[in-house]
């Protein structure tokens, strides 16, 4: 029997996505010695590399929810951080369009919800929308000037550089296979090519899609702190060639997501997505046949769409804390005040707007350790 080595650590962050790296950076800024453990071969290969890369304004979420608070605060922090660190980003603005007069009330309710969250949206009638977006067919729209896009890979590189500049370390290929919290310490069994045991003062479970699975096998964690999770897969289609858009265009929200919307990358290429498909396991297959649903959705507001230029791009999966028809579910940031275990924070349901909120989530987490 091979004996595994045991190591001690100050603060451990499990998961090297954008949120995990932001948490590691914040802990480093506060003088903690941080070790980031990532099961994959590279950082940011999960949720963080399979999204729209949108910096959200904070429009949609119930007032005083964590999503509302952390998105609004995180957006401000993220724009400032990107500016200071030279990370590729752009304030593109976003149009949320209503294509039928019967949905104007929804548009107004969204405007009111955004106002309650401290976000001002500009209402435009159909004439004004056509002046700004000549190819868009809409009877009215809301405009969010604060929405933008960011190069998520550059962002994660900068966060990791900040961690390493303060003595922190990222270890990839290091899955956490078991965990036990007792007597004020956290004992982690690390697999991979160099298995070991690790004892830490503080641990943050930021494992994304794997966070709930890890919590379910975490000895010492009460059953009430082990939520159920649903997986919502969304696929994206890219749009080849030229298009008339310089801002993002969204329909009104739909159950499970924000609807099939147009986003741009920093080079100006357009892509559409994500749709919503509830799945039982991780599967990033892009079924080209789903393009039919995209065409139908997009044609409602962009009649001149050239469907032949839509190409399958990629898929992402959102970790949901409510299933089909389950309604709104907030971020869960479960610290000692929730589960009673000092020095442990579990992050559950960190889907959109997790990228936008990452720096604000990091401050929230660090303040609870």
Question: What integer is the mean pLDDT of 322-331?
Answer: 94
Closest CA to 122 of 271, 247, 245: 247
Longest dimension (CA), the chain: 76
List beta partners, residue 90: 149
Residue of 43, 347, 66, 31 lying closest to 203 (CA atoms): 347
Work out the average pLDDT over 137-164: 98
Pairing relationship of beta strands 176-182 and 185-190 according to DSSP bridges: antiparallel
Query: In the chain, where does the domain assigned CATH 3.50.50.60 lie?
Result: 5-51+153-228+328-367
Residues 294, 295, 298, 300: is their CA dihedral positive or negative?
negative
Residue 117 pLDDT more than 90? yes
What is the average pLDDT value for the chain, to the nearest integer?
Answer: 96
HSE-CB of 109 using CA atoms within 13 angstroms: 11
**Which letter, b or e, does each residue of 215-235 get, where b requires 16 or more Cβ atoms within 10 Å of its Cβ?**
beebeebeeebbbebbbbbbb
Give CA–CA dist 43/45, Å, rounded.
Answer: 6
CB within 8 Å of 103: residues ≥ 6 apart: 252
Cα–Cα distances in angstroms (integers) from residue 154 to residues 157, 193, 208, 245, 355, in the given order: 5, 28, 19, 24, 13
Banded pLDDT at 3 (limits 50, 70, 90): low
Q: Are 218 and 348 in contact (CB under 8 A)?
A: no
Q: What is the DSSP letter of 3?
A: P
Q: How confident is the model at residue 1, as a pLDDT? A: 36
Strands 34-38 and 5-14: what pairing?
Answer: parallel
Rounded Cα gap, residues 290 and 101, in angstroms: 28
8 Å CB contact between 252 and 213: no
Proportion of the chain above pLDDT 70, given as a percent = 98
CATH code 3.30.9.10 region(s) in the chain: 230-320
Query: What is the helix (H) or strand (E) element at residue 236, kind and residue range?
Result: strand 230-239
Other C-beta atoms lying within 10 Å of the C-beta of residue 62: 13
Nearest to 263 by CA among 61, 93, 87, 88: 93
Task: Summarize the confidence of residues 313-332 as an average pLDDT.
Answer: 95
Handedness of CA 284, 358, 270, 274 (dihedral sign): positive
For residue 258, the model assigns a pLDDT of: 73
Lowest model confidence (mean pLDDT) among 95-109, 133-147, 246-260, 306-320? 246-260
Summarize the confidence of residues 222-242 as an average pLDDT.
96
- State the Cα–Cα distance between residues 237 and 290, nearest whole angstrom: 9
**CATH class of the 5-51+153-228+328-367 domain in this structure:** alpha beta
In angstroms, the CA 254 to CA 51 distance is: 17
Instruction: Kindly tell me if the per-residue pLDDT of 67 is higher than 70.
Output: yes
Place of tokens 């610290």: 335
Rounded mean pLDDT, 285-305: 96
User: What integer is the mean pLDDT of 39-62?
Assistant: 96
Mean local confidence (pLDDT), 34-57: 96
- 3-class secondary structure for 248-279? EEEECCECCECCCEEEECCCCCEEEECCCEEE
Instruction: Please write the tens of the pLDDT for every residue from 240-269.
Output: 999 999 999 999 987 766 778 999 999 999
Residue range 230-320, CATH number: 3.30.9.10
pLDDT at 259: 78
pLDDT for residue 4: 75
| 196-205 and 185-190 strand pairing | antiparallel
Q: Is the pLDDT at 2 greater than 60, yes or no?
A: no
Model confidence over 179-209: pLDDT tens digits?
999 988 999 999 999 899 999 999 999 999 9
Helix (H) or strand (E) holding 218: strand 218-219
The CA–CA distances, whole Å, from 274 to 48, 250, 284, 361 equal 14, 11, 12, 24
Tokens of 118: 């401290």
């Amino acid at each position: 029997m091979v004996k595994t080595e045991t190591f001690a650590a100050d603060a451990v962050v499990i998961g090297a996505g954008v949120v995990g790296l932001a948490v590691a950076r914040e802990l480093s800024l506060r003088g903690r010695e941080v070790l980031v453990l990532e099961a994959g071969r590279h950082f940011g290969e999960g949720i963080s590399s399979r999204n729209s890369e949108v910096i959200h304004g904070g429009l949609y979420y119930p007032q005083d929810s964590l999503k509302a608070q952390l998105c609004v605060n995180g957006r401000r922090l993220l724009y400032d951080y990107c500016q200071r660190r030279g990370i590729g980003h752009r304030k593109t603005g976003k149009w949320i369009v209503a294509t039928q007069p019967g949905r104007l009330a929804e548009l107004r309710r969204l405007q009111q919800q955004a106002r309650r969250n401290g976000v001002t949206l500009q209402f435009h009638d159909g004439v004004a929308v056509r002046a700004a977006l000549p190819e868009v067919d809409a009877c009215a729209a809301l405009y969010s000037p604060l929405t933008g896009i960011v190069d998520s890979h550059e962002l994660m590189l900068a966060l990791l550089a900040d961690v390493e500049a303060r003595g922190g370390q990222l270890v990839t290929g290091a899955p956490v296979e078991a965990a036990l919290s007792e007597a004020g310490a956290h004992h982690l069994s690390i697999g991979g090519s160099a298995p070991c045991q690790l004892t830490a003062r503080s641990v943050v479970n930021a494992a994304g899609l794997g966070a709930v699975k890890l919590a379910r096998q975490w000895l010492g964690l009460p059953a009430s702190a082990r939520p159920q999770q649903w997986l919502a897969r969304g696929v994206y289609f890219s749009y080849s060639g030229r298009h008339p858009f310089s801002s993002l265009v969204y329909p009104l929200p739909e159950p499970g997501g924000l609807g099939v919307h147009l986003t741009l990358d920093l080079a100006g290429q357009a892509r559409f997505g994500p749709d919503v498909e509830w799945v039982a396991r991780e599967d990033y297959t892009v079924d080209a046949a789903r393009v039919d649903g995209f065409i139908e959705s997009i044609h409602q507001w962009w009649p001149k769409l050239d469907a032949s230029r839509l190409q399958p791009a990629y898929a992402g999966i959102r970790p949901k804390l409510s299933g089909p028809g389950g309604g709104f579910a907030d971020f869960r940031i479960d610290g000692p005040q929730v589960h009673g275990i000092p020095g442990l924070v579990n992050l559950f349901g960190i889907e959109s707007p997790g990228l936008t909120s990452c720096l604000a989530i990091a401050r929230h987490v660090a303040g609870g350790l």
